[in-house]
Amino acid sequence: MKGKKAFPPPSVLNYNTIQQTRISLLQLNGANRMIKMLSGNEAVARGMWEAGVVVASAYPGTPSTEILENFALFPHVYAEWAPNEKVAVDVAVGAAYAGHRGMAIMKHVGLNVAVDSFMYASMTGMEAGLVIVTADDPAMHSSQNEQDNRTFAKFGRVPCLEPSDSQEAKDMVSAAFELSERFDTPVLLRLTTRICHSTSSVDLGERTTPVSEPRPFPRKPGKYVMVPGNAVKRHPVIERRICDIAAFAETFPDNRNEPGGRSLGIITSGVAYQYSREVFPQASILRLGMTWPLPEKMIRKFAKSVKRLIVIEELDPFIEEAVHLMGITVEGKCIFPITGEFDPRVVRESAVLAGLLPASASVPLPEVELGALPGRPPVLCPGCPHRPTFYILNKLKVPVNGDIGCYTLALFPPLSAIHTCGCMGAGIGVAHGATKAGSPEHHVAVIGDSTFFHSGIPALINVVYNCSPVTTVILDNRITGMTGHQENPGTGRTLLGQETIRIELEPLVRALGVRHVKSVAGYDVKAIEKALKEYVKLDEPTVLVVEEPCALMPDVRKHWLPLEVLEEKCNGCTLCFRIGCPAILKSEELDEKTQRPKALIDAGMCTGCEVCAEICPREAITFRPVEMEGGAS
Amino acid sequence: MRTFNFLLCGVGGQGTILASDVLVNVGLAAGYQAKQAEVHGMSQRGGSVISHVRWGKSIHSPMIGVGEVDVLLAFEKLEALRNLNSLHPEALALINAHTIKPLTVISGDQTYPNDETLRNAFAQVTSHVEYINGEEIAGSLGNSRMENVVLLGALSALLERSALSGPELTAETWLKVITERVPPKHIQLNRKAFQAGWEAVKKR
């Protein structure tokens, strides 16, 4: 970092400036109550600021991404994109060890990556608050599974808070830090897509917790060095801790009994509370803001106060099973689905089927017969620099082990060139394993730049170390595309807009011991074809870096220039349809000889990447004539 | 104070997210409790976009159950059809006569439903359907990207005409929320777009 200015750590930021900013914001909010419509993610960011979070680290992932993006907009905060979620948790732990509030944010599957760190943080506790946000994705709107991360709270002996709307999403950040500091424990703040991406009104608060002064880093090896001799002493501590928190849960204000009729009692949490209120306005409701550990006395009392007890919770029967273990008769997943996302209809119709509501409560649907409507699956954008690589891979007919990113969309026809995709960083290892098992074809692993930095590097080291002739294609668009253009270690810029070292892929890959490495331009179809044809024949690890910025980057958009098809030259060969570009349409015009539709380019969508022009054998695709400026005046 | 369940649907990039942000804030400004839920995961890659907006005295769920939509604002015809079965009988529907062909249609594997199919299908559910050419109206103002504001103007007129909304919902309430969300140099254009949409429905 010589010659570069590192971002000043928060402790050395001018405290007066922080004070001044705080005062101005307090004046803004203090006198007049300020209510704003905020998404759950925006509300969490606001809550982080109000709670005096000093260091926040995250890896982008839907539905959690906007939390850190919004937090980074507040004055004098430190926020960073980490290369992966495990690093993000370690960073937040480091801040908390150093005596400052730290926060790590991720989507549900991100916690799988970070769980090793999550577990030691639970063992050690910290000097200041540590909160980890997990944003679960019931219905898998943009995820590979719909795991219920409340299980990790139980697994790690850590409390779990679940807000039911944006107001609570904000307020629970402060509550989580207070809990964390009171009991010396990390706290899991569990959101779901519907909380993250729904908007409701929030009464903004003030920044009540001042940013703490710098203090010496603690030397407490018995607490912070988890060698077996120390860890063995810490385990009983955390077991006692979770019992103490369970006792505290009995009086935790966000665990709330809302008495109603005695015939039905509902235990619920998160957004399911809202559906419960809506569908069962008369019922008694026990709303749990803390879903681990559970307030056993409160639950027993509630169960006794009603005739029939049910749990309404999305995904796993997490609360239901715990209530069963208390020896209380309860129903849940025998009534409501274990898969997918709830809404008022799901809850109501399930309740009707179970006899909880009369048949007359059921809402009939129009049920107009519409036949099979054309689907609108997400597609690689017009001008996407990943397209040529997949066009060639499809042509080569090789097995392709893919990864997580926009490029996974190349699984759809006509590209059809992704054959596996499991989780971040999996493709290279899968390609290696298949090769070692004797898969008769040459395997190609395809991974984006951000995913490669996230978890692709160890897998590539394995390919080199254990020698397999896997070809790894790194699609390097210098940005994290899928989640909406977040910076990454290859961007050369941080989340806070600081210039930084740009990690170059080719030297990195060479340093790992890969002898055959090449970088090619993303739109150079011929160069990609030549390189891949060569690499799939080699009996050694090979890496092709395909470099081209995402076509949606603002700087790239400026240079968009649409192409057109010269009708007289096009003979309807249909080759350009095979790249699956949404800007290339089938014309009504048929070629006289072939009787096949000619191509037509939608000028509003075309970016002018010229990939179709490169593969057109008749040079029938060219730039539109540019209207010359001047002359008229 | 009645409850409004709005469903907005369209294709990624059409401005449905901004429109639903405006709508939920108009609800708040008019004194309702308002909530909004959007489904936009992979929508910026040209996928379908759906957004729910609810206004009422006391709103719990941010989501509208299927079959409980009172007002549909469809930015695109195929997406309108896709959400038809979410409507309450005799719901209000405002359909933008805009065609965006998905790749499945471009490739020739499937056919885009024609206007007659659309009209007949909607007629089976409700008689309160209004069609508008938002893209053309916005284009005549010199900026087809104003389509979403044109549609909001049309929606405001439709609510007024149906007497669903009371005096709390003035054109100025809408315009104040819209202008707060656009850069100063575009305020006039947005006002014009809103007005043009309002007139297109009001004059019928």
Burial class (CB in 10 A: 0-12, 13-18, 19+), B136: middle
Helix (H) or strand (E) holding A104: strand A102-107
Instruction: Say whether B35 and A198 touch across the interface (CB within 8 A).
Output: yes
**Mean pLDDT of chain A, nearest integer:** 92
Residue A292's closest CA among A427, A196, A148? A148
Distance CA A342, CA A138 (A): 8
Rounded percentage of chain A residues whose pLDDT exceeds 90: 87
Instruction: Say whether A374 and B108 touch across the interface (CB within 8 A).
Output: no
Class of domain A560-623: alpha beta
Contacts of A259 (CB under 8 A, 6+ apart): A284, A305
Q: How far is CA A65 from the centre of its chain?
A: 6
Q: Which of A140, A141, A198 to mutate to test the interface with B (most CBs of B within 10 A)?
A: A198
Out of 3.40.50.970, 2.60.120.560, 3.30.565.10, 3.20.20.110, the CATH code matching A387-556 is 3.40.50.970
Is it the case that residue A123 has pLDDT exceeding 90? yes
Mean pLDDT of A315-336: 98
CATH code of the domain covering residue B120: 3.40.920.10
Residue B147 domain boundaries: 4-202
Distance CA B3, CA A19 (A): 44
Contacts of A456 (CB under 8 A, 6+ apart): A403, A425, A427, A428, A447, A472, A474
Out of 3.40.50.920, 3.40.1400.10, 3.40.50.300, 1.10.10.60, the CATH code matching A256-361 is 3.40.50.920
Distance CA A256, CA A105 (A): 27
Strand duo B4-11 + B48-56: pairing: antiparallel
Domain ranges within chain A, ordered by starting residue: 10-249, 256-361, 387-556, 560-623
Q: How far is B147 from chain A (nearest CA, A)?
A: 15
Number of domains in chain B: 1
Q: Is the peptide bond before A414 cis (omega within 30 degrees of 0)?
A: yes
Distance CA A467, CA A542 (A): 11
Is it the case that residue A242 has pLDDT exceeding 70? yes
CB A123: neighbour CB atoms within 10 A? 18
Class of domain A10-249: alpha beta
Band (A213; pLDDT cuts 50, 70, 90): confident
Joined together, the tokens standing for residue A554 give 């603002």
Mean pLDDT of A299-327: 98
Contacts of A565 (CB under 8 A, 6+ apart): A587, A598, A599, A600, A601, A620, A621
Lowest mean pLDDT among A290-294, A562-566, B69-73, B102-106: B102-106
Contacts of A543 (CB under 8 A, 6+ apart): A460, A471, A472, A473, A474, A509, A514, A516, A517, A518
Q: How far is A276 from chain B (nearest CA, A)?
A: 9
All residues of chain B having their beta carbon less than 8 Å from the beta carbon of residue A200 are: 34-36, 59, 62
Q: What are phi and psi of B104, to 5 degrees?
A: -65, -25
The per-residue b/e assignment along B137-170, b for 16 or more CB within 10 angstroms, e otherwise, is bbeebeebebbbbbbbbbbbbbbbeeeebeeebe
Band (A626; pLDDT cuts 50, 70, 90): low
All residues of chain B having their beta carbon less than 8 Å from the beta carbon of residue A362 are: none
Is it the case that residue A227 has pLDDT exceeding 90? yes
Residue A305: the pLDDT is: 98
Joined together, the tokens standing for residue A43 give 């509300």
Q: How far is A536 from chain B (nearest CA, A)?
A: 30
Helix (H) or strand (E) holding A102: strand A102-107
Q: How far is B156 from chain A (nearest CA, A)?
A: 21
Residue B196's closest CA among B140, B130, B129? B140
**Mean pLDDT of chain B, nearest integer:** 91
Same fold, A10-249 and A256-361: yes
Looking up tokens 């060569």 gives: A534
Residue B101: the pLDDT is: 87
Is it the case that residue B51 has pLDDT exceeding 90? yes
- A:B CB pairs within 8 Å: 157
Instruction: Say whether A199 and B21 touch across the interface (CB within 8 A).
Output: yes
Is it the case that residue A21 has pLDDT exceeding 60? no
Instruction: Say whether B35 and A275 touch across the interface (CB within 8 A).
Output: no
Q: Check: pTM over 0.95? Answer yes or no.
A: no
Residue B173: the pLDDT is: 93
Mean pLDDT of A583-593: 90
Is it the case that residue A8 has pLDDT exceeding 50? no
Residue A26: the pLDDT is: 36
Q: What is the DSSP letter of A611?
A: H
Distance CA B97, CA A565 (A): 27
Is it the case that residue A402 has pLDDT exceeding 80? yes
Is it the case that residue A3 has pLDDT exceeding 90? no
Joined together, the tokens standing for residue B152 give 């909001």
All residues of chain A having their beta carbon less than 8 Å from the beta carbon of residue B44 are: 484, 552
Q: What is the 3-state secondary structure (H, E, C) of A346-405?
A: HHHHHHHHCCCCCHHHCCCCCCCCCCCCCCCCCCCCCCCCCHHHHHHHHHHCCCEECCCC
Mean pLDDT of A290-300: 98
Q: Cβ(B203)–Cβ(B140) under 8 Å? A: no
Instruction: Say whether A366 and B125 touch across the interface (CB within 8 A).
Output: yes
Edge-to-edge order in the sheet of strand A400-401: A400-401, A444-448, A471-476, A542-547, A516-521
All residues of chain A having their beta carbon less than 8 Å from the beta carbon of residue B38 are: 197-199
Q: Which of B20, B49, B63, B82 to mutate to test the interface with A (most CBs of A within 10 A)?
A: B63
Distance CA B71, CA A376 (A): 23
Joined together, the tokens standing for residue A299 give 């639950």
Q: Which of B14, B40, B42 to mutate to test the interface with A (most CBs of A within 10 A)?
A: B42
CB A436: neighbour CB atoms within 10 A? 12
Mean pLDDT of B125-137: 95
Q: How far is B35 from chain A (nearest CA, A)?
A: 5
